[in-house]
């Protein structure tokens, strides 16, 4: 049995290494092509992609399983982008992000089921409550760095999970809270996957806009300076404590939004959905896609949200394969699938990807 497991993991490692190298070369080609386009052509490309996203639920309406998977991908994109604000922009290693996901989900569940409030009010309060917990946690622990900060966030994540399990009649313990209602607007109830698709991906777009505007703002440049060298940034007049607490609070609040959406979509919350492994999965999405890279994090979230569906036949090896993937990424592609260097045009692909290399090669004029 041991040798069989070892053989299977060895084969999986080889396959993953080939896939990582293959996808890395492909993403290098595509990224180089996109960054080399004129601004006008880039807008046309973005518009075409937007039209594709609008039409996607109708193209997949005949396959409910595929459409539901796309919805889960959207929720994970919001989560990964919210964590990227903390890790990718500010360089703060947080491995307890599932706690804010849980806080947002349970806030919506308690307000809508126990108190009978409207979903939209619960949705806004989930954002506020998760952000408040992020602020209250961030003030004391963001004085820590590196491993100490990571351990502190892990501890907070476990505290939240255990509080939910032992919450008595309030959280209903391991049984969770069922019967969470779907949102409605002007009498239209979100009771099918297509309506949920537009709502979830509208929130994805809003999260991307927030991330992009923050990255390209004065605050974003300050955060990048803190990530690269906190002492030098402080010497230049940047206030590390203020910016780190701000971005930690915002990341937590956006995770709360994802939790609110998830709770209302599946109509049920349970502590088992917000474990330490969920936080690790979010971290892997950021690392896989490219720390600090918004398109990269989206790609990483999509890959790792779809991968469990592909690994259902080998459920026993699922987390072992995750570990192998992380090790291989650190060896073969430490900057992630779509790195910040590639997005800035600083890294040119060194290999023409079959005929695609010629198709994607920008014109010399």
pLDDT digit string, tens, across residues 238-251: 888 888 899 999 99
pLDDT score recorded for residue 145: 80
pLDDT score recorded for residue 205: 94
pLDDT score recorded for residue 234: 81
Q: Identify whether the C-beta of residue 103 lies closer than 8 Å to the C-beta of residue 127.
A: no
Give the pLDDT mean for 312-329. Answer: 75
Confidence of residue 1 (pLDDT cuts 50, 70, 90): low
Give the pLDDT mean for 12-21. Answer: 81
3-state secondary structure the chain: CHHHHHHHHHHHHHHHHHHHHHHHHHHHHHHHHHHHCCHHHHHHHHHHHHHHHHHHHHHCCCCHHHHHHHHHHHHHHHHHHHHHHHHHHCCCCCCCCHHHHHHHHHHHHHHHHHCCCCHHHHHHHHHHHHHHHHHHHHHHHCCCCHHHHHHHHHHHHHHHHHHHHCCHHHHCHHHCEECCCCCEECCEECCCHHHHHHHHHHHHHHHHHHHHHHHCCHHHHHHHHHHHCHHHHHHCCCCHHHHHHHHHHHHHHHHHHHHHHHHHHHCEECHHHHCHHHHHHHHHHHHHHCCCCHHHHHHHHHHHHHHHHHCHHHHHHHHHHHHHHHHHHHHHCCCCCCCHHHHCCCCCCCCCCCCHHHHHCCCCC
**267-298 pLDDT tens trace:** 999 998 898 989 988 998 998 888 888 888 99
Q: Identify whether the C-beta of residue 301 lies closer than 8 Å to the C-beta of residue 76.
A: yes
pLDDT at 2 over 70: no
How many Cβ atoms are within 10 Å of 172's Cβ, its own excluded?
20
pLDDT at 358 over 50: no
How far are the Cα atoms of 206, 225, 261 from residue 108, in angstroms, in the given order? 20, 36, 9
CA distance 151 to 95: 8
Structure tokens at 236: 């230049």
Structure tokens at 282: 């979010």
How many Cβ atoms are within 10 Å of 348's Cβ, its own excluded?
12
pLDDT score recorded for residue 356: 44
CA distance 291 to 340: 8
Confidence of residue 158 (pLDDT cuts 50, 70, 90): very high
pLDDT score recorded for residue 198: 93
pLDDT score recorded for residue 185: 86
Per cent of the chain over pLDDT 70 is 91
In terms of average pLDDT, the best of 28-42, 77-91, 215-229, 321-335 is: 77-91
pLDDT score recorded for residue 361: 47
pLDDT score recorded for residue 353: 45
CA distance 97 to 78: 12
Give the pLDDT mean for 16-36. Answer: 81
pLDDT score recorded for residue 110: 93
The rounded mean pLDDT for the chain is 85
Confidence of residue 357 (pLDDT cuts 50, 70, 90): very low
Task: Decide yes or no: CATH 1.10.101 for domain 66-358.
Answer: no
Confidence of residue 345 (pLDDT cuts 50, 70, 90): low
pTM for the complete prediction?
A: 0.89
Confidence of residue 315 (pLDDT cuts 50, 70, 90): low
Torsion region of 304: left, alpha or beta (phi above 0 gives left; psi -120 to 50 gives alpha):
alpha
Nearest CA to 163 out of 186, 188, 133, 138 is that of 133
CA distance 290 to 27: 12
Each domain of the chain, given as residue ranges in start order, spans 66-358
């Amino acid at each position: 049995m041991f040798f069989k497991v070892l053989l299977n993991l060895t084969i999986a490692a080889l396959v993953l290494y080939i896939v990582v190298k293959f996808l890395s070369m492909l993403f290098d080609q595509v990224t180089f092509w996109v960054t080399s386009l004129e601004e006008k052509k880039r807008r046309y490309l973005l518009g075409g992609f937007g039209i594709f996203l609008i039409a996607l639920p109708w193209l997949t309406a005949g396959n409910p399983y595929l459409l539901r998977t796309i919805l889960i991908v959207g929720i994970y994109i919001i989560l990964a982008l919210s964590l990227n604000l903390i890790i990718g922009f500010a360089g703060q290693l947080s491995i307890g992000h599932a706690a804010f996901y849980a806080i947002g989900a349970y806030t919506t569940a308690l307000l809508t089921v126990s108190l009978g409030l409207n979903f939209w009010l619960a949705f806004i309060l989930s954002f506020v409550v998760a952000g408040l917990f992020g602020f209250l946690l961030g003030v004391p622990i963001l004085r820590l760095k590196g491993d100490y900060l990571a351990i502190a966030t892990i501890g907070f994540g476990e505290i939240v999970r255990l509080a939910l399990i032992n919450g008595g009649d309030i959280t209903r313990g391991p049984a969770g809270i069922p019967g969470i209602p779907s949102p409605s607007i002007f009498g239209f109830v979100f009771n099918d996957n297509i309506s949920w698709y537009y709502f979830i991906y509208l929130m994805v777009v809003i999260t991307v806009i927030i991330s992009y505007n923050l990255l390209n703002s004065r605050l974003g440049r300050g955060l990048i300076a803190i990530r690269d060298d906190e002492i030098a940034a402080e010497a230049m007049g940047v206030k590390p404590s203020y910016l780190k607490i701000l971005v930690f609070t915002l990341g937590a609040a956006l995770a709360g939004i994802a939790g609110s959406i998830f709770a209302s979509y599946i109509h049920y919350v349970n502590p088992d959905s917000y474990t330490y492994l969920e936080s690790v999965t979010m971290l892997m999405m950021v690392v896989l896609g490219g720390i600090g890279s918004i398109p990269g994090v989206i790609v990483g979230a999509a890959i790792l949200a779809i991968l469990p569906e592909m690994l259902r036949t080998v459920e026993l090896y699922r987390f072992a394969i995750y570990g192998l993937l992380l090790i291989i990424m650190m060896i073969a592609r430490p900057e992630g699938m779509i790195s910040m260097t590639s997005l800035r045009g600083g890294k040119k692909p060194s290999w023409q990807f079959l005929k695609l290399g010629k198709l994607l090669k920008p014109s010399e004029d």
